[in-house]
Structure 1
Amino acid sequence: MKQQVTLIATAAMGLESIVAQEVRALGYQDTTVENGRVLFTADAAAIPRCNLWLRTADRIKVLVGQFEAKTFDSLFEQTKALPWERYIPEDGEFPVIGKSVKSTLYSVSDCQAIVKKSVAERLKQKYGVASWLEESGGFYRIEVALHKDQVTLSIDASGTGLHKRGYRIGQGEAPLKETLAAALVKLTNWRADQPFVDPFCGSGTIPIEAALIGQNIAPGFNREFASESWELVGSDLWERAHEEAEDLADYDQPLDITGSDIDHRMIEVAKDNAMEAGLGDLVAWKQMQAKDFHPQQATGYLVGNPPYGERIGDKAEVEKMYREFGKVMQQLPGWSVYILTSNERFETLYGKKATKKRKLFNGYIKTDYYQFFGGK
């Protein structure tokens, strides 16, 4: 019997259902979707597979336990009752981070200290260690999260957040997170054999994520994860997951993806990032204003995260650009257009009502994802 674990894939607000779809696509059907996270039960092989493949999740955590605690004694005893030795070896390094929202135990530093002491007591007892634990081995970062007195204890299996794909060597002023960029692509009906354009590409994140999706390249293929040194997983499962990713990549899939931007410096940055992602010249990059978009194809997909005009002085210029862009796209009824912006007047400025709208957060900025479906 393979060892079963309960995993948490954390997600930005509004992306939970997409993360759940991705988890199920990997073969893990037993999913529970909650605010900001997806829980599912799987064997230990899911830890490397989910870290490598989930495009829209923020990180993967192993759930150790959940319970209610309103006193520090209760937190200590219930934490100690959990099977930490199942996850953390005798020499494991286990720092504790924490957060507390609307809970009786509101001091995060005290909660962290109590969990640290409690886990250490449990491990010393189980491993027969009299003095202190060396913590010279693998990295097991524990999180104690309290919400309305409900405690969730987990261990981070990702390390650096999953949006850090490892290809971004340069970026603009307000870079789009890679996980959100992947979600914007996945929320369209685009397929790899259709034209794909981002006329506001900045450092190239949306076209790069589209190319990775188009060739079925695992987004975590080029980076390292905290759980690579875990005994619970073992190097053979990591090796198998990497082999699977290599086998499933379709490097021969031709792509018609273009990224353009008004700023020639960003085009150079985007080119460098695409090279770092191992995409070579798969994506075409060009300096261009959005109003000069004149594709040869009658149909295609346009996905963009244009400037929002949040700063005083930028608004009038940005709104003028939205108007001009709308006029251009009215001449291209076959194209499906997907735009992320915080500007609530976007539909009016663009000159058309969206087929669908979806609320998403770009960092802390509340935005709408306007979806205009093209005709055939």
Structure 2
Amino acid sequence: MAQHVTLIATAAMGLESVVANEVKNLGYETSVSNGKVRFDAPVSAIPRCNLWLRTADRVKLLAGEFKATTFDELFEGVKAIPWENFISEDGQFPVTGKSHKSTLYSVPDCQAIVKKAIAERLKWKYGVASRMAETGALYKVEIALHKDIATLTIDTSGDGLHKRGYRTGQGEAPLKETLAAALILLTNWKPDHPLIDPFCGSGTIPIEAALIGQNIAPGFNRNFASEDWGLIRHAYWESAFEEAENLAKYDQKLDIQGADIDHNMISIAMNNSQEAGLGDLISWKQMQVKDLFPRKKNGYIIGNPPYGERISTRDRVIEMYQDLGNVMKQHPSWSVYIITAFEAFEQYYGQKATKKRKLFNGFIRTDYYQYFGKWEK
């Protein structure tokens, strides 16, 4: 069995550097490309990365990579990969695929060839005469062709890492947990500073902030596909969960508030917070933006307000942005971070952002407007 592996943490466009920083903080050196953070690590990194990466979409194990312009090259290249180092004799290995700017453009054909090549290799190595049983652990294989380079990976995560396990309900346009965590990590917020989300919806930003503030591993309350893999010793998982428990700062005091105009969303947010095990760490309030009144200095507003595309009308959105700008003029020590696809946000907020960052909320291109507060003693 392999002792060291190459892993790929996939990332939403614009978040690669955030994911790379998380991986580095876990102790692994990275290389970054579009949507991917690649790194070599011991097998024990698979549990740790799945438990700790807040902003990555998935953690994939790189099985092999080679050039393929014909189906024969694809078959032989896949068959040459030591799949027995990764997949158990009874393992299930469904194959998904994608192709971009490659000679081999028929994804279904590529999937079928990869499946056959893996089966041939495993039957040869395990001495199986007939069809592989495929009744055991799940090893979801992906063939990704890009400019004739075939990349074969196995998904270690199972469900996407944004599925923390605490979401019992949501609104019409929920923010992914991974993006919410990234919005927080892109600020200078620290757990001893107040934080308010005035557009909290189902509570994702305040909940992710509380998890970050108490250094709680985001994957602590969920399962992963690779937990059943023979490749990873059970002791590695035990060690990773033990590390997560030891590093949590459950006694860290927090001042985090979620507010929303819809009382139904406040109820959902409270239930999600309870499910996340955060108890009364977060305060929740039904409130209009114009009624926002921060009582402390040097705090942070982090929010994902309606964009005027799917939820609210344009006039209502403009009024909401104006209200927020008028309120925050009275609190210059507060930093404000707003993600929106509304291109005239700065105009109606009443101030040009100190900094902007392009991000994608799902398939929606957005800007992350950043206003840095003036520190007050």
Q: TM-score, normalised by structure 2?
A: 0.98
The DSSP-based 3-state class of the residue aligned with 2:253 is coil
- 1:55 is aligned to 54
Alpha carbons of structure 1 residues 351 and 104: separation in structure 2 relative to 1, 3 Å: same
2:299 matches 1:300? yes
RMSD: 1.1
- 1:166 is aligned to 165
Q: 2: distance between equivalents of 1:270 and 1:188?
A: 23
- 2:279 is aligned to 280
1:257 Cα deviation after fit: 0.2
**Worse-matched range after superposition: 306-315 or 338-347:** 306-315
1:311 Cα deviation after fit: 4.4
Kindly provide the amino acid, as one letter, of the partner of residue 142 in structure 1.
V
Q: 2: distance between equivalents of 1:215 and 1:162?
A: 19
- 1:18 is aligned to 18
Q: 1: distance between equivalents of 2:321 and 2:21?
A: 33
- 1:126 is aligned to 125
2:96 matches 1:97? yes
2:28 matches 1:28? yes
Q: 2: distance between equivalents of 1:87 and 1:291?
A: 56
Residues 247-302 of structure 1: CA deviation (Å, up to 9, x unaligned):
00000000000000000000000000000000001000000011111111122011
Q: 2: distance between equivalents of 1:74 and 1:244?
A: 44
1:313 Cα deviation after fit: 7.1
Kindly provide the amino acid, as one letter, of the partner of residue 194 in structure 1.
H
Kindly provide the amino acid, as one letter, of the partner of residue 8 in structure 2.
I
- 2:5 is aligned to 5
Q: 2: distance between equivalents of 1:313 and 1:34?
A: 36
- 1:316 is aligned to 315
Kindly provide the amino acid, as one letter, of the partner of residue 9 in structure 2.
A
The DSSP-based 3-state class of the residue aligned with 2:7 is strand
Residues 202-253 of structure 1: CA deviation (Å, up to 9, x unaligned):
0000000000000000000000000000111121100110000000000000
The DSSP-based 3-state class of the residue aligned with 2:257 is strand
In structure 2, the gaps of 5 or more residues are none
- 2:181 is aligned to 182
Alpha carbons of structure 1 residues 47 and 252: separation in structure 2 relative to 1, 3 Å: same
1:129 Cα deviation after fit: 1.0
Residues 186-216 of structure 1: CA deviation (Å, up to 9, x unaligned):
0000000110100000000000000000000
Q: 1: distance between equivalents of 2:20 and 2:230?
A: 27
Q: 1: distance between equivalents of 2:329 and 2:339?
A: 18
Kindly provide the amino acid, as one letter, of the partner of residue 61 in structure 1.
K
Alpha carbons of structure 1 residues 311 and 245: separation in structure 2 relative to 1, 3 Å: closer
Kindly provide the amino acid, as one letter, of the partner of residue 201 in structure 2.
G
Q: 1: distance between equivalents of 2:181 and 2:289?
A: 21
1:1-376 paired onto structure 2 within 5 Å: 3-29=3-29, 31-311=30-310, 314-376=313-375
Q: 2: distance between equivalents of 1:73 and 1:299?
A: 63
Kindly provide the amino acid, as one letter, of the partner of residue 287 in structure 2.
M
In structure 1, the gaps of 5 or more residues are none
Kindly provide the amino acid, as one letter, of the partner of residue 198 in structure 2.
P
Kindly provide the amino acid, as one letter, of the partner of residue 12 in structure 2.
A
Alpha carbons of structure 1 residues 273 and 311: separation in structure 2 relative to 1, 3 Å: closer
Residues 136-177 of structure 1: CA deviation (Å, up to 9, x unaligned):
111100000111111110000000000000000000000000
Deviation beyond 4 Å, 4+ runs, structure 1: none
Kindly provide the amino acid, as one letter, of the partner of residue 211 in structure 2.
L
Q: 2: distance between equivalents of 1:362 and 1:62?
A: 26
1:89 Cα deviation after fit: 1.2
**Worse-matched range after superposition: 171-180 or 309-318:** 309-318
1:179 Cα deviation after fit: 0.1
Kindly provide the amino acid, as one letter, of the partner of residue 279 in structure 2.
G
The DSSP-based 3-state class of the residue aligned with 2:66 is strand
> Number of matched residues?
375
Q: 2: distance between equivalents of 1:260 and 1:295?
A: 12
Q: 2: distance between equivalents of 1:118 and 1:54?
A: 33
Alpha carbons of structure 1 residues 270 and 308: separation in structure 2 relative to 1, 3 Å: same
Alpha carbons of structure 1 residues 80 and 256: separation in structure 2 relative to 1, 3 Å: same
**Worse-matched range after superposition: 48-57 or 104-113:** 104-113
1:2 Cα deviation after fit: 7.7
Q: 1: distance between equivalents of 2:254 and 2:319?
A: 32
The DSSP-based 3-state class of the residue aligned with 1:142 is strand
CA contact (8 A) 2:2 2:85 kept: no
The DSSP-based 3-state class of the residue aligned with 1:296 is coil
Kindly provide the amino acid, as one letter, of the partner of residue 14 in structure 1.
G
Q: 2: distance between equivalents of 1:40 and 1:291?
A: 47
The DSSP-based 3-state class of the residue aligned with 2:47 is helix
Kindly provide the amino acid, as one letter, of the partner of residue 223 in structure 1.
R
Alpha carbons of structure 1 residues 313 and 156: separation in structure 2 relative to 1, 3 Å: closer
Q: 1: distance between equivalents of 2:243 and 2:163?
A: 21
Q: 1: distance between equivalents of 2:297 and 2:33?
A: 41
Q: 2: distance between equivalents of 1:3 and 1:248?
A: 26
Kindly provide the amino acid, as one letter, of the partner of residue 56 in structure 2.
A
